[in-house]
Structure 1
Amino acid sequence: MMKAAYILPAVAILGAVALSSMFIVDEREKVLVLQFGQVKQIRNEPGLGFKVPFIQDVVRYDDRILSLPTRPIEVTMSDDRRLVVDAFARWQVTDPVRFREAVGANGVGQAMTRLEGILNDAIPQVLGSVESSRVLSEDRQGLMNLIRDIARREGASLGIDVVDVRLTRTDLPEQNLEATFARMRAEREREAADEIARGGEAASRVRASADRTVVELTSDARRQAEVVRGEADAERNRIYAEAFGKDPEFFAFTRSLTSYERALKSENSSIVMNPDGEFFEYLRSDQGYGAAAGGSGAGTDAGQ
């Protein structure tokens, strides 16, 4: 019984010591075995590992690609415009020994702080050498690659690899937004005024051309009308001349009747004259009576 009482605690102690000497390496991590702060083992492959219990310690680092969003910083471009810029970096621990030496016991937290400082130095270095229009455009992949390369060179001393860097925000500072918007509005209003002025000028040219066309067409129409009217008058005079040549007495008779008609055309017209006047001379003459009696039916009707 006495021996059993000693054996069981001893077995328990040996089991605890054996368990404390073993550790498991996950496939998503890198492991260092430290003894009094010195690296004794490096385990990059998953599986079971052993260490000296109570003397050696196991330090684990995530082997996956980690992300780091940076805080916004103001950057002055080569055209003296200021932009608020922040970035998003993806990084990975590649050398756990150098990583341990660089960041100490603080691990990933200290590494992210130092990497953010590297990025905050690299971003103004790259973006400060170009104009703001290039940074604000969609074609800025080359700029992000330059920032990544600088961060990768600086991060190598920390035992990490900067996989990628992306610019997530490139905006104007708040105090400059209103001035920028006012300038943009003024530019758009100036462009609108220029367009309106050009449109007014074009409209004036169109109206002037239309007016000139109207004048030309009207003048041409009037000229043609005068030509037609002249030709008609000439034809009328020719017909009158032919009619007068065929029967001068009847022509004189119809002319006198036309003059009577015109004189008495108005309903309220009244004529007071001497019957012996020249106005009725043709009706009193024998020639007029003979023309009225012996002329055509039309002449007789007109005389009556």
Structure 2
Amino acid sequence: MIRNVFSFIICIIVVVLFFSLFTIEEGHKGIILRFGKVLRDMDNNPLIYNPGLHIKIPFIETIKILDSRIQTMDNQADRFVTMEKKDLIIDSYIKWRISDLSRYYLATGGGDISQAEVLIKRKFSDRLRSELGRLNVQGIVTDSRNRLMTDVRASLNNGTSGEEALTSFSKNIKNFNSEKYDISGQKRYRISDSVNPNSMAALGIEIVDVRIKQINLPTEVSDAIYQRMRAERDAVARRHRSQGREEAEKLRATADYEVTRTLAEAKRQSLIVRGEADAETAKLYATTFNEDPSFYSLIRTLRAYENSFKKNNNDLMVLSTETDFLRFMQSPQILPSINN
């Protein structure tokens, strides 16, 4: 009988220890719920359990373990309007983590991470839309991009916008009045209870980083831009072609001019040479004629005979016997006199 009682007591102790002990893995934090309410200390701060082995009151207290690591949330590409009233399709992502487990638990309906991402996305979209409305496209794409991300992160964490976020953050540092362990296990200072209800701190969330992955133009705008770029390139191509044709015509005209000038110069030179040759020939003929006119007359007449009485020449000539053209045929005796 005593043995049975002892065994029963041991079983009860084992069951109590089983429901009393709990462990929290690395990278997680835990809070104790007593009758559905977050258990707090004397300073009304929620009791936060770090990774390790812990104990709780069984059947009265329950443990809620939350992931305290940095989470990454990818946002779907959304349309935003710039200061120039131009639409942009922006794809971005957010890195966040839990800064206040009690607020996070209450704001997300029991620590539901999907509910937390819905709240973050809603606030992020509003803040990013507000910040982009103050910048032009060039500023978003180039110089002001890093400043834009810093302003959006600060405005989300502090519930203000633009320059006010950085000012509010510097003011809140003066209100750090108590210390606790942050989600990484190191000591950090906590902002006073006067938390901006529009900030992520009111949800127990801290935005670690905000980044834009890609910036695109809407399809209809990009198509119009591509068409305009194509038209501009076509206009440039047509201008280059027309300039090329103009240069070709100039070169062709220059070449034709050079050809004509060269041919004319060559013809002029040939005429000059031919004239000089004819003059020299006439000079020789004249010299020869002056030296022996009878011999010159004989030679010229014989050549005329040769050209007139060719073998294949069927022309009929009717000449008077008294004509001077046939004198050498009529008076052969003249030949000795020519030789004399």
The verdict on a shared fold, with TM-score over 0.5 as the criterion, is yes
1:205-260 CA distance string (max 9 Å, x none): 22222222222222222222222222222332233233334433222222222333
Give the Å deviation of 1:197: 2.0
Which residue of structure 2 lines up, in the alignment, with residue 117 of structure 1? 122
Which residue of structure 1 lines up, in the alignment, with residue 156 of structure 2? 154
- 2:134 matched to 1:89? no
CA gap 1:142/1:92 in 2 versus in 1, 3 angstroms: farther
1:162-204 CA distance string (max 9 Å, x none): 334133352414x555544544443343333323222222222
Q: Is the 8 A contact 1:33 1:41 kept in 2?
A: yes
Which residue of structure 2 lines up, in the alignment, with residue 302 of structure 1? none
TM-score normalised to structure 2 length? 0.71
Specify the SS of the correspondent of 2:96.
strand
- 2:71 matched to 1:66? yes
Specify the SS of the correspondent of 2:336.
helix
Matches for 1:268-287 after TM superposition, within 5 Å: 268-284=314-330
CA gap 1:120/1:287 in 2 versus in 1, 3 angstroms: farther
Give the Å deviation of 1:282: 4.5
**1:49 corresponds to which letter in structure 2?**
H
Kindly report the root-mean-square deviation, in angstroms, between the aligned alpha carbons of the 2 structures.
3.2
Identity %: 27
Give the Å deviation of 1:26: 1.4
Higher relative CO (Cα under 8 Å, sequence separation at least 6) belongs to 2
Specify the SS of the correspondent of 2:47.
strand
Q: Is the 8 A contact 1:63 1:93 kept in 2?
A: yes
Matches for 1:1-304 after TM superposition, within 5 Å: 1=1, 3-35=2-34, 36-39=37-40, 40-44=46-50, 46-100=51-105, 102-132=107-137, 140=142, 142-143=144-145, 146-155=148-157, 157=201, 158-168=204-214, 170-173=216-219, 175-176=220-221, 178-264=223-309, 267-284=313-330, 288-290=334-336, 294=339
Give the Å deviation of 1:55: 3.0
Q: Is the 8 A contact 2:29 2:49 kept in 1?
A: yes
Which residue of structure 2 lines up, in the alignment, with residue 300 of structure 1? none
CA gap 1:283/1:150 in 2 versus in 1, 3 angstroms: same
Matched residues in 2 for 1:152 and 1:264: separation? 123
Kindly tell me the number of residue pairs found equivalent between the two proteins: 288
Which residue of structure 2 lines up, in the alignment, with residue 301 of structure 1? none
Structure 1 alignment gaps of length 5 or more: 296-304
Matched residues in 1 for 2:72 and 2:15: separation? 38
Structure with bigger helix share is 1
Q: Is the 8 A contact 2:70 2:96 kept in 1?
A: yes
Q: Is the 8 A contact 1:99 1:160 kept in 2?
A: no
TM-score normalised to structure 1 length? 0.78
Specify the SS of the correspondent of 1:67.
strand
Give the Å deviation of 1:150: 0.9
Q: Is the 8 A contact 1:94 1:161 kept in 2?
A: no
CA gap 1:221/1:33 in 2 versus in 1, 3 angstroms: farther
1:4-36 CA distance string (max 9 Å, x none): 333333322222222222222211222233442
Matched residues in 1 for 2:259 and 2:333: separation? 56
CA gap 1:241/1:111 in 2 versus in 1, 3 angstroms: same
Matched residues in 1 for 2:261 and 2:136: separation? 58
Specify the SS of the correspondent of 1:249.
helix
Structure 2 alignment gaps of length 5 or more: 41-45, 158-199
Q: Is the 8 A contact 1:22 1:51 kept in 2?
A: yes
Give the Å deviation of 1:57: 2.7
CA gap 1:264/1:149 in 2 versus in 1, 3 angstroms: farther
Matched residues in 1 for 2:273 and 2:86: separation? 77
**2:153 corresponds to which letter in structure 1?**
A
Matched residues in 1 for 2:226 and 2:217: separation? 13
Matched residues in 1 for 2:314 and 2:81: separation? 100
Matched residues in 2 for 1:63 and 1:37: separation? 17
